[in-house]
Every structure is written in C-alpha cells, then in structure tokens.
Amino acid sequence: MPPRSLFVRQRASGASTGIWLALLAGALQAACLAWPTAVPAGLAALGVQQGQPLWWGQTLALAVLVQLLLASRSPRRAAWLGWLFATSWLACTFAWLFTSMHTYGGLAAPLAVLAVLLLAAVLALYYAAASWCFRALALENSGQAAIVFISLWLLAEAARGMLLTGFGWGAVGYAQVNGPLAAALPWVGLYGVSALAAGLAVLLALSFRATRWRQALSSVLAMAVLLVLVAVLPAPQGHDTGKLSVTLLQGNIAQEEKF
C-alpha cells in the first residue's frame, strides 16, 4: 500500500472558507511587518506594538498558507490560494503608494486603488507559481515538503525583488528583525531570513497536520533545532576604522510640492 500523501483533497464546502483564510492570512502577514494600530496594554506582553514587526504573527500567517496548500484539491487550486494570499499581503503592504499617488500625486482615488491592486496582483504571480509547484509535487514526506516549500518561497521572494528591476518591498524577512531569527541576518541576509521564516511556517503547519504524535513531535523538534542553531550563531566581529563624520540635509519643501 503506497504511503499516504501529505496533500488531502479539500471538500467543496470548504472552498469559500479557504479563499477567506488566504485573504485574511495575507493581510495578517502584511500587518506583522509593522503593526498598524494601537493595541491594548495587555497585548504588549505578546510583542504586539504599533509600528513594530511581529515575528510570530508572520510565522502563523504563512503557516496558514502552507496548510491551505496542503489541503488544496489540485495544483490549480493551490496556485489560486497562493495568489490570493500574496495579493492581499502585497496590496496591504503597498498601501503607502495610494497616499503617494492620490494625496500627493493628485491621482483619482479609484485609479490609485486600482494601481496598487494591479501591482500587487502581478507580483503575486511569483507566489502563485511557487504554490502550484509545491502542490504539483504531491510530496509524501514531511522533510521533503519542508525543503521544497522553503526553496520555492525563497525563489519567489528573490524573483519579486530582482527580476525586471524588482520591487522587493515588504519581504517577510523584515518581520523577523526583532525575533529569534534576527541573529542570522548578518550571515544570510534578508532573503536568507525569509527562507528561515518559511521553514518555521512549514514546520508549524506540518505539526498541526500530523496524524500521529511522533510526526507532530518531529516537526516541533525541527523548529526547536532551527531556532537553537540560529541562536548560537556567533556575532560578526567588526574592526574599528576610526570616526566617520556624517552631515544630513533636509530640504524645507512641503511633501505635496515635490510631486
């Protein structure tokens, strides 16, 4: 009897739920890059602070996407969900472009909204392709699934940031600058940390999806090993080259007059 695939067909009744989950998870990932609103004092203990990244929230949001991909009934469905997730994430992340184009550029609000959505939708195609490939492989081993997802996510992030001049604004690595993966930034850079964040997300999703406690435990242990390995990385040692004098100039020109 062949081993049971990690991918389980999603029931038709859950199709609309998957769409909403993809959109909400994408918006959550965007919010976790820099939390947009003030929060009750009690949430500060969880690291939720206005204007600050929320590393564990980003991990959870991406884990929801992985879960949706694993539950998708076909590669086409996975690509659709991946595209919705990425479009929601990028559109929310690019919201500042609306202010630039409408408030300061004078572009009509509907056109500014459309421009932001179109940019997000086009760039989301990289993640749709990654999601399609992940589902098409129909992997039966958790370790293989984790490695493949990490690799595909890294390729999608790099493609968005580099191809056709690139527009890498809002990469998930930025959400990790105050989290446990930040120690790896000097060694692997932004995209490397994005890959590590994808690793945490896929392992978290696999732990919840496991049908046996040993499978769940192996995913949790893999997450712990990853975090420990990053934690023990030595801090880069720089060399003092003397004092550097810096002068900053800021023109007294109103922002709306610059456009």
Per-residue pLDDT tens for 4-34? 455 554 444 467 888 999 999 999 999 999 9
Q: Which two tokens stand for residue 225?
A: 């090993």
Radius of gyration of the chain (CA): 20
The predicted model gives 43-49 an average pLDDT of 75
Asked whether residue 132 is domain-assigned, the answer is yes
Asked whether residue 51 is domain-assigned, the answer is yes
Residue 42 has pLDDT above 80, yes or no: no
Q: What's the domain count of the chain? A: 1
Asked whether residue 3 is domain-assigned, the answer is no
Amino acid (1-letter code) at residue 226: L
Residue 233 has pLDDT above 70, yes or no: yes
Residue for token digits 């129909």? 138
Contacts of 94 (CB under 8 A, 6+ apart): 116, 119, 120, 169, 170
Per-residue pLDDT tens for 179-231? 999 999 999 999 999 999 999 999 999 998 877 888 888 888 999 999 999 98
Q: What residue numbers bound the domain in which 48 lies?
A: 12-233
Of the listed ranges 40-44, 91-95, 135-139, 140-144, the one predicted with least confidence: 40-44
Asked whether residue 246 is domain-assigned, the answer is no
pLDDT at 6: 57
Asked whether residue 146 is domain-assigned, the answer is yes
The predicted model gives 47-71 an average pLDDT of 92
Asked whether residue 148 is domain-assigned, the answer is yes
Q: How confident is the model at residue 157 (pLDDT cuts 50, 70, 90)?
A: very high
Per-residue pLDDT tens for 84-131? 999 999 999 999 999 888 888 888 999 999 999 999 999 999 999 999
- Helix axis angle for 125-137 and 109-123, nearest 10°, is 30
**Distance (Å, whole) CA 106 – CA 246:** 35
Q: Report the residue count for the chain.
A: 259
Residue 177 has pLDDT above 80, yes or no: yes
